[in-house]
Structure 1
Amino acid sequence: MGAPIAEQIRERLQQALDPVALDVQDEGYKHVGHANEGKGHFHVRIVSAAFAGQLPIKRHRLVYAALQGLMDQGIHALSIDAKAPGE
């Protein structure tokens, strides 16, 4: 079996977006009893120069692009807080 999903999220975002700050939280415990029994719920806080001048939707698309494939293999829900440095 591969690395835990949270670790895979961290690794992919590090490689794709070179963040200056990154926090990945497994929030499955907040969703017990919901779809997938609370598994696969994550929150990402990321600060990257790649987000400078980008609208929030573009920032989210960059995160989703970096996580391509994981969205179908372990991530059920993902909330994103994406900022550029200095925001």
Structure 2
Amino acid sequence: MPMQADEIAGFIKSALPDAEVIIKDLAGDGDHYAAHVTSAAFKGLPRVRQHQMVYAALQGRMGGALHALALTTAIPE
């Protein structure tokens, strides 16, 4: 069963409480999303580590309940 955008945002916000999360359904099928996540927790970390933090927040759902996620991360200004 595909994940809903609010579920994805909820998992990310649970792991990164200060995060601003913007989710877009790319194909209208509930399987292909883009996420932009902004969090102070990313400060000083390389982009790869930032993405790993977001994927860890999804608790193993990538590739299963969540088929595809185009991810961008940022640090608040």
TM-score above 0.5, yes or no:
yes
Measured on the aligned residues, the alpha-carbon RMSD in Å equals: 2.1
Instruction: Give the gaps of 5 or more residues in structure 2.
Output: none
On the 8 A contact 2:12/2:19 being kept in 1, the answer is no
**Greater percentage in helix:** 1
On the 8 A contact 1:19/1:49 being kept in 2, the answer is yes
Distance 1:20 1:77, change over 3 A: closer
**Sequence identity (%):** 33
Tell me the distance in 2 between the aligned counterparts of 1:60 and 1:15.
15
Which has the larger Rg? 1
Aligned pair count reads 77
Q: Which runs of 4+ in 1 moved over 4 A?
A: none
Instruction: Give the gaps of 5 or more residues in structure 1.
Output: 30-37
Tell me the distance in 1 between the aligned counterparts of 2:52 and 2:58.
10
Match of 1:74 among 47, 57, 65: 65
Tell me the distance in 2 between the aligned counterparts of 1:57 and 1:63.
10
